Structure 1
Amino acid sequence: MKKILLLFTVFLLIWVKNITADPTDSLLIKNLRKHVNYLAADKLKGRNTGSKGEKKAYKYIIKQYRTIELGAKGEDGFLQPFTFTYGRKLTGKNELTINGAHLKLNEDYYPVNISANKSVKGKITDVGFGIVAPELEYDSYKNFSPILKGNIYLMECSTPDGDDPHSGYAAYADIHKKIENAKNKGAAAVIFTNSLTNAEDLKANLDINTPSSDIPVIFVKYDVLKTVLRKEFNSSVITTHLEKVALTGHNIAAFLDNGALSTVVIGAHFDHLGYGDFGNSLYRGEVAIHNGADDNASGTAAVIEIARRLKKNNIREKNNFLFINFSGEELGLIGSKYWVEHATYDTSKINYMLNMDMIGRYDPEKGVEISGLGTSPDEFKFISTLNYDDLKFKLSENGTGPTDHTSFYYANIPVLNFFTGTHQDYHKPSDDADKINYTAEAKIIRLIDSIIMVLDVKGTLPYSKTKESDGGDIPQFKVRLGIIPDYLFDGVGLRVDGVSEGNPASLAGIKKGDIILSIGEFPVADIMTYMKALAGFNKGDKATVIVKRGDMNSELHVIF
């Protein structure tokens, strides 16, 4: 029996290495186009987790699974609901009076997301910009005595130079630091305002998760404020009340039962950014729907079609197959983490997990990245020998990454992830269905199908940790450059795949296609050394960035 299995495996490897176009690809391409066009249509409004668009998306996906005749493997049929908190909303009593004048909520003023839930009454003390910068010999509090403890501090939300990122004060513009300084000086509450034309008003940012302060924090529009303030002896009563927003997302799980002892999970997330509601958009224009055709209608469509192929191929594989479409990926892998922790199937029976995230924009120069080879190195080794049609591969041993296979890797399950790279439309409204390379995606699906067939005769795959698994080499950093890295670039340095307007990179003149070789004294050889370089800087720091542009190296100057 072992000899027969070995011969069969060798046959499969020879077959996989030399595959060319399949006559059924036209139908596959037609189906992919249908799925992506539906999932990335405006009527789904960006498929935000917990939204009506998410519901339309999961109804469509479940309909496909029922047509294929797969079994339900969720908690409620095909669905697994999960509840989480994201952002805050105004509830209950929110009031503001200044010198007896009642200001209108959301018209004259608003609490910001960091605010505590409290009622405070006190004198108003104008502390200017609320900045303490010893190295600049600047202290907004130097002329105030300790008797101000318990007062309400009024301060500008920017700096003496406004929002100028090149200003020496830029490092002290962070409102969290200003609030912390105010608390240390005895503030009972903080009122922010903005009297400068070269600075923007402070946003409420209620759609962003952030730790709460223990004092009320509000923003009052300057035009309103100057009508109610007296020259001296000002007072205020502030009441703020915000609640965390509870949302319910939904994972989808469908099962192909082959009566086997082990099961392969094939997954992709189906959520996207909605209108960019949760602050994760890279778009800086007017509010617009982010349709997410590549991210990740492309991966979702692939899961559906791989399910169809495995169901209809007249083969009884030696593994069962569990198809999972995750929600909440864009908010931090929430759905896949929840599934692993509240699995609707015995995770001890999972052989390996195969994930697809953004496989619709294949570029022959970049190829398709297959990561996770180090999570079962002996069994995945054959992938490095593949010669599949005209597809170019970039292989990685890493078991972790910014998508859902990571949740399974940390559950000690071997993983493979497929990814064709970021692009200029990533996390922007322009990620639309007409830009998908359906022909190349069909080839990638047939490649995945073939890998599944080879792995099917290998039995239970042993799990192995990769060197990145402990997280110790992953740096934490306080600044961002504002670029989209080219994750598939395999040369020396970090190639820039896109630049976000208004961020340090664009202000310094960094352009798409530049290869970053160093930041300050830190050499940049790849994505990890790039992140380690960023970890060496704080907001307001200046650095010289060496980039290769064409055949020339250039020095550019960045202020974080």
Structure 2
Amino acid sequence: MKSLCVSGLNSAMVLSGLWALLAVVCSPAAGVASEATKLAESKVRIQQDVGVLAGDEMEGRGVGTEGLNKAAEFIRQEFQKAGLDVTRVNGGAFQTFSLPTGTKLGEPNSLKLISPKGEELVLEKGRDFEVGAFGTSGKFAGEAAFIGYGLEDKEAKYDDYAGIDVAGKVVVCFRRTPGQGQKDGPFSPAKGGGRQGDLRSKIVAAMAHKAVAILFVNDPYTLADKERIREAAIKKAEGKVVTSAEQLADASSEDQSAKLTALKDAVTQFRRSRDAATSPVDELMPFGYAAANDGESLPAFHLRIDFLNQMLRSVGSANAVELAEEIDATMTPRSRVLTGWKAQGEATVIRQSADVHNVIGVLEGEGPLANETVVIGAHYDHVGRGGSGSLAPGSTDIHNGADDNASGTAVLIEVARLLAAQPKKPARRVVFMAFTGEELGLLGSARYCKEPIFPLDETVAMLNMDMVGRLQENKLTVFGVKTAKQFEEWLREGNKTTGFELIEKPEGFGPSDHSSFYTKKIPVLHFFTGLHPDYHRPSDDTDKLDLDGMTRVATLVNEIAQVVINTPARPEYVEVKGSANVMRSGNRPYVGTIPDFGVQEPGYAISGTAPGSPADKAGLKPGDLVIEVGGNKVTNLDDFDLALRKFKAGDKVDFTVKRKTETLKLPLELAPPR
């Protein structure tokens, strides 16, 4: 057969021929298996692959787990079986780099309170206090100061730091926010509240006011709520005992055995509820609660509320519950120095990291376009056993991530098989890549774009699959259809075979790995079947996948890939303004920056800006390092997010950035949330 990539051929004629060839190859007349048979075989392979990737032995494919390494090796083996070259990264398939995986508690850890009379209260870890993994290591000593909820919020006109100097002091504050029982209070969900009360936000505020350490105590509202829940559980269990006893008394001789068993179960549950009520309501956050942070921090501890009350009483103050009630009623802070009281201690928090791998397999091209590259990718990591990445609060169950993104990875492997099985070599090189670190911020794709194994200026397109396992109402969303002039036509033509109801999105920027490539001005297509209630929860399992839908996605990606790979004219890049968001950012104003997670320097590094965005208009550029937003210090992405939440759309805010050897202040007008 003559090569379809002969120079001088009319592109339209070649494209028409490609679609015709695909139709012929897939027909029974071509002497191959029927389309139905091939689809059935493809479905079986996809089912097997996704079953392995989303199995419990993969431990949720979390960064730092052995399961993630097992998944990487499985993908490498399947790439090799498909006929890909898995030796192109220093003789292997793995592009390896290191990522932070969390923290562990070292030694020593200590905390003591010193009264105005010089008496020392030496506290016991695990009983009186716990160390926060979200804090940092270090020794500290300073006068104690109570700062309410430790909040600064201009929009709510609430500032626990107003009128008090905490420089050099150890601050003590409640967790969460004031007015939690108020449906329309300034920190209620209706007003976009909640994020202001997170632990990192309070640490950032304490650092800004030059505190040397922070001691958290449980807020009285939460403690009272826990007490109410306990009392309700005891009453419910007690009622069950009474009901079961009455049913046993009235039971016939045939039913007495079953009713007696029910009564015993009810008594057991009552005893459990009663015993639970004897444990302290004022529970300490275990080490590891909340995510560790790679930015600047303070030594952080969780202290039992009784010790705060002891300090408050000695300085003639109302107790913690009374102060919280006053704050809730008036929305007026009650901060004060705890005159004469000192806190002294040490925390040892050890940051951990692990090597992770992008898995790369290559199908070399043949002919005049062989040095050009098409990337086809999907991320294979997930959130492990939950933690900060989970939407099931407190869950430590394995999150198998069947849809996110074992589905995309299984489709990637199948597309590799389909393309490698073609009778003729592709015109362009095809790089199949299973990315790691996507759940932590597109880290794997960002690393490849920073250290590509083939030149990015010769990379003509990137196709990405992320969450393609839950086809609903036959609707397939495809992002990036306007990022190349030809994509719209190619997508619609290719879909004639698969018959999806396409939801076409023009933008090239969005919350998956294609964004890293579009930042480099590479046209992208991203395939997505939609969100669902199991997203980032342990319930995202294989029994809920639509295998037929996944098989059709693989067919569509394969057909479009063949056209992208073999058409003589490379896709023509188009700059599309805006960013596609799968989920809204809540009450945070929109800026339009694209993070660069490969930079280790303190600050928020950006790899680019969305065209036409506030960041673009303000003059932010790739490589800039944001170190301050509106007077708020920024040491990492979390700080950047928290700083933005202090402002609203329409506010003009100064962004301080480091650009090579310069430090610039760029005024930026914030846009409404997206």
Q: The TM-score by the shorter chain falls in which range? A: 0.7 to 0.9
CA distance in 2, matches of 1:250, 1:321: 19
Q: Does 1:154 align with 2:178?
A: no
Q: Does 1:103 align with 2:123?
A: yes
Matched letter for residue 280 of structure 1: G
**Partner SS, residue 45 of structure 1:** helix
Q: Assess, with a 3 A threshold, how the Cα gap between structure 1 residues 258 and 173 changes in structure 2: closer, same or farther.
A: closer
Matched letter for residue 80 of structure 1: Q
CA distance in 1, matches of 2:59, 2:209: 46
CA distance in 2, matches of 1:60, 1:479: 41
**Partner SS, residue 220 of structure 2:** coil
Q: Does 1:68 align with 2:74?
A: no
Q: Assess, with a 3 A threshold, how the Cα gap between structure 1 residues 460 and 253 changes in structure 2: closer, same or farther.
A: farther
1:266 aligned to 376, 384, 402, which one?
376
Cα offset, 1:84, TM superposition: 2.5
CA distance in 2, matches of 1:478, 1:358: 22
Q: Provide the residue aligned with 1:189 in structure 2.
A: 213
CA distance in 2, matches of 1:183, 1:4: 64
CA distance in 1, matches of 2:68, 2:80: 18
Q: Provide the residue aligned with 1:256 in structure 2.
A: 363
Q: Assess, with a 3 A threshold, how the Cα gap between structure 1 residues 90 and 8 changes in structure 2: closer, same or farther.
A: same
Q: TM-score, normalised by structure 2?
A: 0.63
Q: Assess, with a 3 A threshold, how the Cα gap between structure 1 residues 391 and 16 changes in structure 2: closer, same or farther.
A: farther
Cα offset, 1:122, TM superposition: 3.1
Percent of matched pairs sharing the same residue: 28
Q: Provide the residue aligned with 2:483 in structure 1.
A: 375
Deviations along 1:231-269, one digit per CA (max 9) or x if unpaired, are: 355332122243443232111001112332222211111
Q: Assess, with a 3 A threshold, how the Cα gap between structure 1 residues 166 and 74 changes in structure 2: closer, same or farther.
A: farther
Q: Does 1:13 align with 2:19?
A: yes
Q: Assess, with a 3 A threshold, how the Cα gap between structure 1 residues 6 and 116 changes in structure 2: closer, same or farther.
A: closer
Q: Does 1:275 align with 2:385?
A: yes
* 1:39-54 → structure 2 map (5 Å cutoff): 39-54=53-68
Q: Provide the residue aligned with 1:364 in structure 2.
A: 473
Matched letter for residue 481 of structure 2: L
1:236 aligned to 316, 334, 343, which one?
343
Cα offset, 1:391, TM superposition: 1.9
**Partner SS, residue 515 of structure 2:** helix
Matched letter for residue 94 of structure 2: L
Matched letter for residue 52 of structure 1: E
Alignment gaps of 5+ in structure 2: 1-5, 28-34, 115-119, 227-282, 316-339, 590-642, 650-674
**Partner SS, residue 71 of structure 1:** coil
Q: Assess, with a 3 A threshold, how the Cα gap between structure 1 residues 131 and 13 changes in structure 2: closer, same or farther.
A: closer
* 1:323-472 → structure 2 map (5 Å cutoff): 323-365=432-474, 367-378=475-486, 380-385=488-493, 386-468=495-577
Cα offset, 1:349, TM superposition: 3.0
Contact 1:113–1:208 (CA<8 Å) still a contact in 2? Answer: yes
Contact 1:165–1:540 (CA<8 Å) still a contact in 2? Answer: no
* 1:280-299 → structure 2 map (5 Å cutoff): 280-284=389-393, 286-299=395-408
Cα offset, 1:450, TM superposition: 1.5
Matched letter for residue 301 of structure 2: I
**Partner SS, residue 246 of structure 1:** strand
Q: Assess, with a 3 A threshold, how the Cα gap between structure 1 residues 22 and 244 changes in structure 2: closer, same or farther.
A: same
Q: Does 1:22 align with 2:36?
A: yes
Q: Assess, with a 3 A threshold, how the Cα gap between structure 1 residues 7 and 225 changes in structure 2: closer, same or farther.
A: same
Contact 1:157–1:202 (CA<8 Å) still a contact in 2? Answer: no
Contact 1:87–1:245 (CA<8 Å) still a contact in 2? Answer: yes
Hey, which of these two has a bigger chunk of helix by percent? 2
Cα offset, 1:159, TM superposition: 4.6
CA distance in 2, matches of 1:137, 1:293: 45
Q: Assess, with a 3 A threshold, how the Cα gap between structure 1 residues 403 and 17 changes in structure 2: closer, same or farther.
A: farther
Contact 1:216–1:240 (CA<8 Å) still a contact in 2? Answer: yes
CA distance in 2, matches of 1:390, 1:474: 23
CA distance in 2, matches of 1:400, 1:184: 33
Q: Provide the residue aligned with 1:557 in structure 2.
A: none
Contact 2:374–2:460 (CA<8 Å) still a contact in 1? Answer: yes
CA distance in 1, matches of 2:155, 2:466: 46
Cα offset, 1:446, TM superposition: 1.4
**Partner SS, residue 234 of structure 1:** strand
Query: Which sits farther off after the overlay, 379-388 or 440-449?
Result: 379-388
CA distance in 1, matches of 2:159, 2:550: 59
Deviations along 1:22-78, one digit per CA (max 9) or x if unpaired, are: 321111111000001111011111001231110111111112122223212224511
**Partner SS, residue 385 of structure 2:** coil
Q: Does 1:312 align with 2:415?
A: no
Cα offset, 1:455, TM superposition: 2.6
Q: Assess, with a 3 A threshold, how the Cα gap between structure 1 residues 165 and 97 changes in structure 2: closer, same or farther.
A: farther
Deviations along 1:275-307, one digit per CA (max 9) or x if unpaired, are: 113x12122364211101111111111111111
Cα offset, 1:4, TM superposition: 7.7
Contact 2:505–2:580 (CA<8 Å) still a contact in 1? Answer: no
Q: Assess, with a 3 A threshold, how the Cα gap between structure 1 residues 226 and 47 changes in structure 2: closer, same or farther.
A: same
**Partner SS, residue 388 of structure 1:** helix
CA distance in 2, matches of 1:155, 1:271: 37
Q: Provide the residue aligned with 1:112 in structure 2.
A: 132
Contact 1:293–1:432 (CA<8 Å) still a contact in 2? Answer: yes
CA distance in 1, matches of 2:482, 2:400: 34
Cα offset, 1:145, TM superposition: 7.1
**Partner SS, residue 433 of structure 2:** strand
Contact 2:404–2:467 (CA<8 Å) still a contact in 1? Answer: yes
CA distance in 2, matches of 1:379, 1:62: 30
Alignment gaps of 5+ in structure 1: 482-534, 542-560
Cα offset, 1:216, TM superposition: 3.2
Cα offset, 1:421, TM superposition: 1.1
Q: Does 1:216 align with 2:299?
A: yes
**Partner SS, residue 486 of structure 2:** helix
Contact 2:175–2:219 (CA<8 Å) still a contact in 1? Answer: no
Cα offset, 1:439, TM superposition: 1.3
Matched letter for residue 55 of structure 1: N
CA distance in 1, matches of 2:362, 2:304: 56
Contact 2:588–2:648 (CA<8 Å) still a contact in 1? Answer: no
Matched letter for residue 212 of structure 1: E
Size of the aligned set, in residue pairs, is 482
Query: Which sits farther off after the overlay, 101-110 or 168-177?
Result: 168-177
